[in-house]
Amino acid sequence: MSNINASGWRPTTPEAGESNAATATGNRALMLEEPLIFEIGSISKTGVDFGDAPTGTSRLGGLERHQDIGLPGLSEPETVRHYTRLSRQNYAIDLGLFPLGSCTMKHNPRLNERMARLPGFADLHPLTPVDACQGAFEVIDQLAHWLITLTGMHSVAMSPKAGAHGELCGVLAIRAALDARGEQARKILLVPISAHGTNPATAAFAGFTVEDIPATDDGRVDLEALKARLGPDIAGVMITNPNTCGLFERDMRAISDAVHAAGGYVYCDGANFNAIVGRVRPGDLGVDAMHINLHKTFSTPHGGGGPGSGPVVLSEALTPYAPLPFVEKTADGFRLVEEETAGEHHAGSFGRMTAFHGQMGMFTRALTYILSHGADGLRQVAEDAVLNANYILRSMEDVLDAPFAKSGPCMHEAIFSDKGLPEGFSTIDIAKGLIDEGYHPMTVYFPLVVHGAMLVEPTETESKATLDQFIHAFRSVAERAKGGDPAIRTAPHFAPRRRLDETLAARKPVLAWKEPVGAQAAE
């Protein structure tokens, strides 16, 4: 019985030893490798229980499927494990600061999720007879009302599916308004070079041509240059305010007045509305159309790249051209204005942009958020977002070049350049260095007007302690880059993957899984 460990002894004093040893699995403790579903699943496996279909006459008209599709299945436990393992290879706002400038990664309240999942919203068909979905129309109407109130505009088009879709809505309304005036010759939209790439792409998609507006040295639109370009060929301007350098366009009212005087319209990219919500109303600045990214200002989740939601607030001048369908409040409740009823009051509408009513699942979340914060909370949202960004700006400007720091305070985001980094070091190295420090990097190389731009947006949902920790890490990484630390150039070292070969991915695109070529076929 000598093999019985009667004393219960086990080693309890650790030794550090070799720390870089390879593992047999490729896993590194909690960092778990995960194959593709195509490598672990099979077409005969399933995670659902269906009985066999009752037999009866087939009405498939000879189109019955005989070939396999090749879709792998997994049991439920395998499925849950596969996606849980994948999830752990992602950074997320739930894990830490996500200072991606202009993308506004703020906390996503879970009450929003719960409200969107109420069966009365989540399990409601878009073509439900209007008398049976009055509550859904009421949500749309209430959200529309608050968006109009917060922006000081005349109306709002709720159906655009995302920010860029909202831009499209806005410029189509401008086109429709010009056409209604008989001014088909106005074909040029002026767009600052600092604009997000969607602005020129949207303008082109809608049949406009795009011309750049020059910027001043302090990072804002050059008002005099803009005025000089206005004329009978100009349809309008697309301006982001606060702009992508994180600055408020001081001359916005003068820009709007000049554009209006010259017969054009003002589109405002509202991506950065979160910096001014509750404090400034774009309607007071002469804006004709502005999309609101509900996933930015109003905290609906980004979900790894969508879905977004991009309602567009409109001035009185553009309201007659708003898209279909929309909800209208009447004495007998809410009704839906669609193609058939548009003729009565809304003959100028430019038409339908999407099959149904827009991103209802995002409307319920955004309304929940607005009601949670209220008027006082939303004002505090903007103030704290701006305060946090300026705190980072002033805590970093002695280490990194801050090209507009002398122009005054920033709004919700602080911008830095790669000036002062040694030969061979670039913005990307600071970004990848931050990954090893446990942070998602800032937006890099955007906007184009700043060389090697680093655009840092902390948002209002970060505590001072979190900001202080981030600043400590950001300063450390920036100083290592400035000092020429070669380890920074190969960072990240501790992420699930090292830097990935994007050139290879683009040169030989592999966009779908294929069965590995068998040994025989390879010969």
Partner 1 sequence: MRYLPLTPTDRQEMLGVIGARSIDDLFVDVPGVAQLDGPIHGLPLHASELAVERHMTVLAKKNLAAGDAPFFLGAGAYKHHVPASVDHLIQRGEFLTAYTPYQPEIAQGTLQMMFEFQSQVARLLGCDVANASMYDGSTACWEAIVMARRVTKRGKAILSGGLHPHYVSVANTMAKFTGDQLVTSIPTLSATPDTDDLIAQIDDNTSCVVVQYPDILGRIADLSKLAEAAHAKKALLVAVVTEPVALGAIKSPGEMGADIVVGEGQSIGVGLQFGGPYVGLFACSEKLVRQMPGRLCGETVDAEGKRGFVLTLSTREQHIRREKATSNICTSSVLCALAWSIHMTLLGEKGLRQLAAINHAGASAAAEVLAGVPGVELVTPRFFNEFTLKLSKEARPVVRDLAAKGILAGVSLGRLYPGEASLANGLIVAVTETTTKEDVETLASALREALA
331 to 370, contacts with partner 1 by CB under 8 A? 338-340, 350-362, 364, 367-368, 370
Between 331 and 512, name the residue whose CB sits nearer to partner 1: 512
Binding residue for partner 1 (CB under 8 A) from 18, 376, 398, 523? 376
Closest separation between CB of residue 417 and partner 1, Å?
A: 19
Of the CA atoms within 13 Å of residue 5, those in its CB half-sphere come to: 4
Interface with partner 1 by CB under 8 A: which range of 14-22, 224-232, 414-422, 499-507? Answer: 499-507
Binding residue for partner 1 (CB under 8 A) from 144, 239, 258, 285? 285
| Residues 203-232, interacting with partner 1 (CB under 8 A) | 203-207, 209-210
| Residues 51-90, interacting with partner 1 (CB under 8 A) | 51-65, 67-74, 76, 79-80, 82-84, 86-90
Pairing type for strands 333-337 and 414-416 reads unpaired
Question: Should residue 400 be labelled a site residue for partner 1 when binding is judged by CB under 8 A?
Answer: no
Binding residue for partner 1 (CB under 8 A) from 378, 421, 449, 453? 378
Binding residue for partner 1 (CB under 8 A) from 231, 408, 422, 483? 408
Closest separation between CB of residue 317 and partner 1, Å?
A: 19
Binding residue for partner 1 (CB under 8 A) from 144, 156, 161, 450? 161
What are the backbone angles phi and psi of residue 221, rounded to the nearest 5°? Answer: -65, 135
Instruction: Give the neighbor-by-neighbor strand order of the sheet with 454-456.
Output: 414-416, 454-456, 443-444
Task: Note whether 431 and 441 are within 8 A (CB).
Answer: yes
Binding residue for partner 1 (CB under 8 A) from 101, 163, 264, 320? 163
Q: Classify 364 in phi/psi space as left (phi over 0), alpha (psi -120 to 50) or beta.
A: alpha
Closest separation between CB of residue 421 and partner 1, Å?
A: 19
Handedness of CA 431, 432, 435, 440 (dihedral sign): positive
Closest separation between CB of residue 65 and partner 1, Å?
A: 6
Kindly write out the interface string for residues 443-472 of this chain, putting x where it contacts partner 1 by CB under 8 A and - elsewhere: ---x-------------xxxxx-x------
CA dihedral 444, 447, 453, 457 (to 10 degrees): -70
Rounded CA-CA distance 163/292 in Å is 7
Nearest to 266 by CA among 222, 302, 299, 236: 236
Between 1 and 45, name the residue whose CB sits nearer to partner 1: 45
Interface with partner 1 by CB under 8 A: which range of 13-21, 135-143, 230-238, 473-481? Answer: 135-143
Tokens of 117: 């999942």
Residue type, 423: E
Binding residue for partner 1 (CB under 8 A) from 46, 426, 469, 476? 46
Rounded CA-CA distance 342/521 in Å is 62
Closest separation between CB of residue 4 and partner 1, Å?
A: 44
Binding residue for partner 1 (CB under 8 A) from 192, 236, 403, 441? 441
Tokens of 327: 């909800």
Rounded CA-CA distance 484/426 in Å is 11
Binding residue for partner 1 (CB under 8 A) from 331, 509, 518, 520? 509
Rounded CA-CA distance 100/106 in Å is 10
What are the backbone angles phi and psi of residue 476, rounded to the nearest 5°? Answer: -60, -45
